[in-house]
Structures are given as structure tokens and as C-alpha cells.
Structure 1
Amino acid sequence: MSYGKFASIYDSLMQDVPYEQYVEWVASRQTSGKLLDLACGTGTLSQLFAELGYEVTASDLSEDMLAMANQRFQEAGLRVPTYQLSMDNLEGLQGFDVVTIAIDSLNYLKTGEQVQQTFNEVHKALNDGGRLFFDVHSIHKVDEVYMDSPFVLDDEEVSFLWHTEPGAEEHSVVHDISFFVRQQEDLYQRFEETHEQRTFSASTYSTWLKAAGFVIESITADFSDAEPSAESERIFFCARKV
């Protein structure tokens, strides 16, 4: 998938994401150290961690996302090394105290084998006692909430029509999104994006984490300290390497 045009409007679409809460969640359990931000996107979370004092490394599969992240770091006066890597292949990256996979990025992996390989790769990249933090869509969100589409955003600068259908695999979805990006006062550019996501049960993620050599420290829901319920939409995991 090419993220060229999508990268250019990504920050506008994500402006309501509570990144500060994500940082607080991580910092409440791991206050400092070398941090690897996987699937970093345009680098918003990486910047926040760096400004808090973490020694941050950022990676993403998209060259376009990384270009925008590097521009962000440069403008902020931060030295954050970046790598173009898939989450399930972190060869050469080691010695981290923290790894983050934020904002349902793990759900873009298409198979359970890729998720398991990602956990194995993160385990190798972490120091003993290091922690992995990530969040995923719940099965409830994928199977029910997303089926309430289409979703519409009508904004002055960026608007979209978002239609979701069930994917070929269990608990998977295909998002077809039409964007309308303002170029001039009465002129908008339209482009199309297709995104595929898949999730698994919390117990399945837990089994894979334990098999990779982690102990699970917490499983919570929806940017809170509450345990997941049947109606939870986003599940958060904190796991420690042993």
C-alpha cells in the first residue's frame, strides 16, 4: 500500500487521538530508557516521548510517513533515528527498554503468524525486564461497531466518506475511504484509500505473548485502567520480557 497522499493528511485525521494519554500510560510503568516506537506514522508519539526524555528510535514501513516524521523531528530540534522496517522483521535493532506499537497498528498485520513473529522480534529487541506496550481493536469493534458504516466527516480542510465491509478472515475488515482535500477555496482533490485490518481475542494475544517469553502486567480498555468488557473497543496490553 502506498501512503503518499494518506501521509499528507494523517495528522488531520488523528487530531482527536489522545496521544498524551498514551504517553502517560507508558510513563506510569516505565519512566525512562531507550524506546523503540514501531509503526510510528508521522512521529507524533515519538516526539512526545523524546521531549519527555526517552532515547527514542522510530520505525515505520512507509517511506512517506517516515519523511514526515523526520521533518517533524528536525523542526522540533530532536535527534530521533528512523528506520524503514516491518514490525515482524527488526533485524539489527536491540538494546531497548521500551517498545510501543500504538493506535491499532498491530491490526494491520494480516496473519496470526505475523503477529507472533512481531512479538518474537520485539522480545529479541528488548533488554531483560524491558516492556512492550500496544493496543488493538476489540472483536466487538471489528465485528459490530465498524459495521455501522458508512462514516462521514465534513470538515473545511479534509472530508471523507468511510465505508467498511467484513474481510475474508474472521474478525477482519476492509476500509474503503474516499478523501476530499481542500486545495483552494472551492476546489477539493479526491483520492481513494483501502485499508485492511484484523484482530484477535485478548486471550489469543496473551497466549502469543507468553509463548514469545513475556509476562503480562496489565490488560485494560479504552484509555482507562478498567478491565475490558464486552463493549470495549480498544484493548491495551503491557507485557514484560523475562
Structure 2
Amino acid sequence: MYDVLAEVYDQLQDVDYEAFADYYEAIFQKFNCQPSLVLDLGCGTGNMTLAMARRGYEMIGLDCSVEMLEIAAQKARDQQKEILFLNQDMTTFELYGTVGAMICALDGVNYLTGDGQLEEMLQRLHCFLDPGGLLIFDVNTPYKFQKVLDGQTFLYDQDDIYCVWNNEYDAEEQICYFDLNIFLRDADGMYIRRDEFQEERAYSALELQECIERCGLECAGIFDHLSFLPPKTESERLFFVVRRPLSAAGGYADEKIF
């Protein structure tokens, strides 16, 4: 996944990463979390990782795509940021210790399409997140898959890139299929076609909340896009704030892992 898309990913994205970073910091303040070390799950080409690093957080970036991580690491070198990048899967990752917070931006959780993968990821979180620490993730909603993406074709036409993005949503399987045809212009002015196929799973807010709680975590908040407003029927993106609880006595549930 993303092996073909990695080289053009940044050119096709139109995301205000600083707005995401502002929102993460507002969540940290609202939920009394003061992390110094933050893990970026599904970091891709490192845009979100670097946005947080520029604000003084010690960052770890994790992604399953080597191609994405190579680009992220080069950006970090260019910006003189020391960031540990790990080529691991979100459902099986291993760290040397715990972190104060985790973020997962731009519907990374929707890419957990297999049965049990969401629970596996949350169980890893329980192992490597400080007690009282937060996971912040966002998801595309079932409404977006059904009403906005299903049956739609999007075109991206830039100087050296032409991309046709077809979407099809299977309501029974709760899977949205993305078929991307990417045309890249070479040095001779000829276009080379590259194809990529992706899929995302639609999770309801209730399904996510129940899975979070089954894993011994607390669903501390569910909010509409980049806000502290409650979800709406027509919300296209929701943000979840997940907390690893402290013990009932008010101390840590267990010791940090080092």
C-alpha cells in the first residue's frame, strides 16, 4: 500500500497540517496531557510528524511503507530534525519504551480493514502508551463513504501528474475500494501509467467506542472535524480521543516499560 503513491503523495494532498497540530495541542490541554515523546502512527511522508517536531515534541514516526519512510527521513534531514522512523505495522509494532501520546492522522485507522486488526492496534497501544496518555485518531465516517465517495471519480491534474481516483463502497462488507490511475511525465515528456489499489473500512462511532472499551481503554471524547463539537449525522470526519486509564486508586495502572 502506498508504494506507487509515495512519490506523488505530497503533491496530491491538500491538508493543513498546522491546523491538525493546533488541534492536537488543544486536545492535550483540554485533557491535561503533557507529552514530550509522541508516536505518529501511519506517519506516511512525515508531514504531521515534522509539524509536531517543529513545536518541540520528540517524535517517532511509524509506517508500513518503506517508500514513504524514505521520503519522511529525507525531509527530517533537510529540516535538521532528529526523528526515529520505524518500518512497522500499526497492529504489531514494538517500541523500546512507552510514549506520552500517540497520533494517527488522515484516516489511518480506516485502513485497518481485517477482522480484529483494530483491536490488535488498540492492544499494542495499551502496552506502549503511558498511563494517562492519549491516542488521538480521526476516521472517515460511514456517511462519507456512502454519500460522498461511493460511485465518485476525482481528477487531479498538475504539471507533471495526472491522477484518476475511482471510488466504490460495498455497504454489506463496509469496505470502500479506491482505484487510482496515476500518470507521471518523464524527462522526455511522455506519461507513464502507474496503478494503485487501496481500501478502507467504515467504522461506526459506536463500533469504535465499544472496541476501545473492550481493550481496557477510555473513550474520552468523540468530536466533529477539528473541533470540540459533537458528531453530526452528516459529519464526514470524526476525531477520537482515547486515554489509557490510571488505576482506580489514582496511581499508575502499572509501571512504564523500559
Partner of 2:253: none
Partner of 2:5: 6
Partner of 1:27: 25
Partner of 2:153: 150
Separation in structure 2 between the aligned mates of residue 90 and residue 237 of structure 1, nearest angstrom: 21
Residues 137 and 199, structure 1, Cα contact 8 Å, conserved in 2: yes
State the TM-score, normalized to the length of structure 1. 0.93
Shift of 1:5: 3.0
RMSD of equivalent CA atoms: 1.7
Distance 1:55 1:169, change over 3 A: farther
Separation in structure 1 between the aligned mates of residue 67 and residue 117 of structure 2, nearest angstrom: 23
Residues 46 and 58, structure 1, Cα contact 8 Å, conserved in 2: yes
Shift of 1:109: 1.2
1:231 maps to a residue whose letter is: E
Partner of 1:166: 169
Q: Which moved more, 1:98-107 or 1:30-39?
A: 30-39
Separation in structure 1 between the aligned mates of residue 226 and residue 184 of structure 2, nearest angstrom: 30
2:61 maps to a residue whose letter is: A
Structure richer in helix, relative to its length: 1
Separation in structure 2 between the aligned mates of residue 39 and residue 99 of structure 1, nearest angstrom: 11
Shift of 1:225: 2.5
Q: Are residue 52 (structure 1) and residue 55 (structure 2) matched?
A: yes
Equivalent of residue 18 in structure 1, options 2, 16, 19? 16
State the TM-score, normalized to the length of structure 2. 0.88
Matched residue pairs, number?
Answer: 240
Residues 150 and 168, structure 2, Cα contact 8 Å, conserved in 1: yes
Q: How high is the sequence identity, in percent, across the aligned residues?
A: 30
Shift of 1:226: 2.0
Name the SS for the 1:4 alignment partner. coil
Residues 167 and 196, structure 1, Cα contact 8 Å, conserved in 2: no
2:20 maps to a residue whose letter is: Y
Shift of 1:18: 1.8
Output one character per residue of 1:216-238: Cα deviation in whole Å (capped at 9) or x when no partner. Answer: 22211222322111111111101
Residues 57 and 81, structure 1, Cα contact 8 Å, conserved in 2: yes
Distance 1:99 1:93, change over 3 A: farther
Identify unmatched segments of 5+ residues in structure 1.
none
Separation in structure 2 between the aligned mates of residue 82 and residue 142 of structure 1, nearest angstrom: 31
Distance 1:93 1:141, change over 3 A: farther
1:21 maps to a residue whose letter is: A
Q: Are residue 75 (structure 1) and residue 78 (structure 2) matched?
A: yes
